Amino acid sequence: IITMDDIVREGNPILHQPTKEVTLPLSDEDKETLICMMNFLKNSQDPEMSKKYKLRSGVGLSANQIGLNKRMFVTYFTDDQGKLFEHYVINPKIISHSVSMIYLPPAEGCLSVDREVQGFTPRYERIKIKAYNLEGEEVILKLKGYAAIVFQHEYDHLEGIMFYDRINKENPFQVPENCRSLY
């Protein structure tokens, strides 16, 4: 199973460079990898498993976070409307987004970052993503609010961007005029 030992930490070049598109249809190996990544998220949110394997809770995981140069990530979380976002996201592309932006207070975190980074990470409030699922079918996802934040955090990983790269260097708690808190 995937444990924290398998999670690559910041500083490793694979986290700071763009990942390569995955060949479709998915090989059995890539499918198995994605299923293992999804099981990590589920285990990390399970009281027994997270305790047993000392897992940090995660709602998303990108392939380069486990050292694979592949343009794919998984998400597993429920939003405040109770909607489950269990998604295998392969070769994603953000095809449109709102002008309005939001940030997650007090700050984002990352399984690949073993330190607290203070400051706000501005994200688009709404995004439309085109991607492929485990079966190789094209899917269009329309996301807003917290779900949009999670998907942009993972999407950035595939681009080699960390959440702190987007924090204002001069004033970490300053955000653009069109950006407001999620809550």
Ligand X SMILES: O=C(O)C[C@@H](Cc1ccccc1)[C@H](O)SCc1ccccc1
Q: How far is CA 158 from the centre of its chain?
A: 9
Alpha-helix runs per DSSP H in the chain: 28-44, 47-52, 145-159
| Binding partner of residue 87 among ligand X, Ni ion, none, CB cut-off 5 to 8 Å per kind | none
Total number of residues that touch Ni ion (CB under 5 A): 1
10 Å CB burial of residue 170 (0-12, 13-18, 19+) is exposed
**Rounded CA separation 51/41 (Å):** 13
Q: Is 149 in the site for ligand X (CB under 6 A)?
A: yes
Catalytic residue list contains 135? no
Q: Which of 86, 108, 125, 154 is labelled catalytic? A: 154
| 58 to 77: interface string for ligand X, x by CB under 6 A | xxxx----------------
166 CB neighbour count, 10 Å cutoff: 17
Contact set for Ni ion, span 102-121 (CB under 5 A): 110
* Site stretch for ligand X (CB under 6 A), options 32-40, 54-62, 87-95, 173-181: 54-62
Cβ neighbourhood burial of 22 (10 Å; 0-12, 13-18, 19+): buried
Output the smallest distance, CB 89 to ligand X, in A: 12
Residues catalogued as catalytic:
154
Task: List residues near ligand X by CB under 6 A.
Answer: 57-61, 104, 108-112, 149-150, 153-154, 157
